[in-house]
Amino acid sequence: MNLINQFLIATPDMADERFKNAVILICDHNEDGAMGLNINQPSDVTFEDILSSLSIENLSHQKFPKVHEGGPVNSECGFILHKNQSMYTSSISVSDQLALTTSKDVIRAIANKMVSEQWLMALGCATWTAGQLEQEIADNAWLTCPADERIIFNQSDNKWASALDILGIKAHQLTSEVGHA
């Protein structure tokens, strides 16, 4: 099972409060484990704060989308999900349409309005060791479904409900009492 470019949607069984109502885009998944970004947890840090800390001027004077808390690992590192129109110094392809970049050149490109409006910045990421994510899914901590760019790049505060809609599920239908047939 490869979960790259899939959403993980937290269920009521999610024991870790940091992932309550999380929607995580899986960006990498292999025999060593998985890495993803929580796209549903707005941060108090703004993109303007990031630009200032990196001494990058906002030449376009544009208003930027919210920065997200991507996960508890490497929380000092910025991850930019963007349309795969250009690859930057440290980019990996998540899908034919999406790339993930961690280098400063993409931040400069955003500040200079050289990146489409479809991008999302997250501070930190979520990681799992080999087999850990598969076990959490088996333990009913996560639902999975194909990722949807409309949800990723939407500025809505309710991406969790939108992701559940992909599966045809409403939040009130979820219970922590789930069994296996």
76 or 120: which carries more pLDDT confidence? 120
Res. 30: pLDDT tops 90: yes
Calpha distance 149→118 (Å, rounded): 9
Structural domains in the chain, sorted by start: 6-173 (3.40.1740.10)
Give SS3 for 35.
strand
Residues 6+ apart with CB under 8 A from 141: 10, 11, 13, 14, 15
Give residues with Cβ within 8 angstroms of 46, minimum separation 6.
64, 66, 67
Whether the per-residue pLDDT at 79 is higher than 90: the answer is yes
Phi, then psi, of 10 in degrees rounded to 5: -65, 140
Q: Tens of pLDDT along 157-180?
A: 789 989 998 998 887 777 665 555
Residues 82-112: pLDDT tens digits? Answer: 987 677 788 888 998 899 998 888 898 888 8
Three-class SS state of 23: strand
How much is the pTM?
A: 0.90
